[in-house]
Amino acid sequence: MDHHGPDRVIADVPAELTVTWRLSPIHVALTFRAPHIAAHALPGQFVHLRVSPAGTSPLLRRPFSVLGVNRAAGTFRVLVRTIGRGTELLGELAPDTELPALGPLGTPFPRLDEDRDIVLVAGGVGIAPLLFLAAESRHKVARALYGAGTAEWLVLADELAEHCAEVALATDDGSAGYHGPVTDLVPASLDGLRDPIVLACGPRPMMAVVVDWCRQLGTECLVSFEAWLGCGLGACLGCVIPAAGEPRRYVRVCHDGPVFRADEVDWDAL
């Protein structure tokens, strides 16, 4: 998908940490003051944060989907799951710390037709861009499916419920909602909806199952990818995924995505 035009407003701006909200032992939501990002970020876009501005470890920036913005306050939020040194450092930042934030980056979700019912399928921290979309949507999301390993990792489920008509939860261990993969809930969730469109974000195997269901049921599907990024600007070609079709071609998660139509991706080669 390509929504990049002359209105590209990417900037490298200081982002000042204002709130660290611990949501679970491994999740924090961070609020940063950065009016440029708050003013321009659209659902599906991300910011590329320099975690160690004064040092070289970690070296590369870390990308995070924008979880939400408060345009009046000039702030944006990101959801961080601790998976390594970079995310660990983010969770431990002192208040008022300033980090360089490059953004907003990437292709956002397209503007969705009000005649169509929106279904969200989130796996883990894949909730972040979908919650932003639900909060910004001009019409209320019809259904949201949200899965995680265990109940305490279903962070921000309350906020999701505020913006969606129906929310169904799933956990791998059965500690909350449906006991099993969230993808099991997809076919039933499409029943009785007006020309539904599915928006999915989560681990790649999860998204592959969602895409497969949508293909079988003839439902349009958009996916948002996570990847290790270099530049975030489409220059380094480090974050590619295989594109559908012949001959072999790759698309950049950072620039051509992170939001793709399901049929743009070669799911068999992923």
Partner 1 sequence: MTDQTAGKPVDTRTVLGPLELRTPVITASGTFGYGQEYAGLADFSRVGAVTTKGITLEPRPGNPDPRICETPSGMLNAIGLENPGVEAFVTGKLPWLAERGVPVIANINGITVEEYATLAARLDGCPGLVAVEVNISCPNVEHGGMEFGRDPTMTERVVWAVRAATTLPLVVKLSPNVTSIVDIARAAVAGGADILSLINTLLGMSIDIARRRPHIARGTAGLSGPAIRPVAVRMVWEVHRALPEAPLIGMGGIMTGADAIEFILAGASAVGVGTANFVNPNAAGEVLDDMIRYAERVGAASIAELVGALRL
The CA–CA distances, whole Å, from 270 to 5, 129, 163, 261 equal 29, 22, 32, 15
- Binding test (CB under 8 A) with partner 1, winner from 14, 22, 39, 59: 59
Q: How far is the CB of 232 from partner 1 (least distance, A)?
A: 8
Q: How far is the CB of 164 from partner 1 (least distance, A)?
A: 33
Alpha helices in the chain (DSSP H): 35-40, 85-91, 127-136, 157-163, 186-189, 204-217
Residue nearer to partner 1 on the CB measure, 63 or 177: 63
Q: Which is nearer to partner 1, 27 or 50 (CB)?
A: 50
Q: Does 49 bind partner 1 (CB under 8 A)?
A: no
Q: Which residues in the 60-119 window bind partner 1 by CB under 8 A? A: 60-61, 100, 102
According to the binding rule CB under 8 A, does residue 200 interact with partner 1?
Answer: no
Long-range contacts, stretch 52-60, CB < 8 angstroms, 24+ apart: 52/89, 53/98, 53/99, 53/100, 57/85, 58/84, 58/85, 58/86, 58/89, 60/229, 60/230
Residue from 5, 25, 95, 247 touching partner 1 (CB under 8 A): that is 247
Scanning residues 9 to 38, which ones bind partner 1 (CB under 8 A)?
10-12
Of 27, 33, 50, 143, the one binding partner 1 (CB under 8 A) is 50
Q: How many Å separate Cα 57 from the centre of its chain? A: 25
Any contact of residue 149 with partner 1 (CB under 8 A)? no
Q: Taking a C-beta distance cutoff of 8 angstroms, is the pair 125, 206 a contact?
A: no
- Choose the stretch contacting partner 1; rule: CB under 8 A; options: 49-57, 69-77, 152-160, 178-186: 49-57
Burial class (CB in 10 A: 0-12, 13-18, 19+), 91: middle
Which residues of this chain interact with partner 1, rule CB under 8 A? 8, 10-12, 50, 56-61, 100, 102, 227-228, 230-242, 247-250, 255, 269
